[in-house]
Amino acid sequence: MRWWKVVGLAGFAGVVATGVVIARAERRRRAYTPEQIRDRLRTRAAEAGPPPQEPGTTPAPILPESP
């Protein structure tokens, strides 16, 4: 085999492997229901706490959750 064929096959294998990784990540991402995503975001926001305020400013009011 010529060296350029080997390089071409290696490049093709790399593209295929990248596609597999992307497809797996997409399947994992789509496995969550919208409610699960909302719950996770709310949990992360609660853990993070309110954003730091600059001196002399008033924080924005927290709106109630919509159904």
Express each pLDDT in 34-55 by its tens digit: 898 899 999 998 888 777 767 7
Pick the residue with more confidence: 7 or 58? 7
pLDDT in the model for residue 66: 67
54 domain residue, yes or no: no
Give the pLDDT band of residue 18 (cuts 50, 70, 90). Answer: very high
* C-alpha distances in Å from residue 30, one per residue of 18, 22, 23, 24, 37: 18, 12, 11, 10, 10
Percent of the chain whose predicted confidence (pLDDT) is above 70 = 91
In this prediction, residues 2-13 reach a mean pLDDT of 87
Residues whose CB is less than 8 angstroms from the CB of residue 27 and which lie 6 or more positions away in sequence, other chains included: none
Report how many domains make up the chain.
1
Would the pTM of this model clear 0.75, i.e. be above it? no
In a domain, 11, yes or no: yes
Whether residue 17 lies inside any domain: the answer is yes
Residues, the chain, total? 67
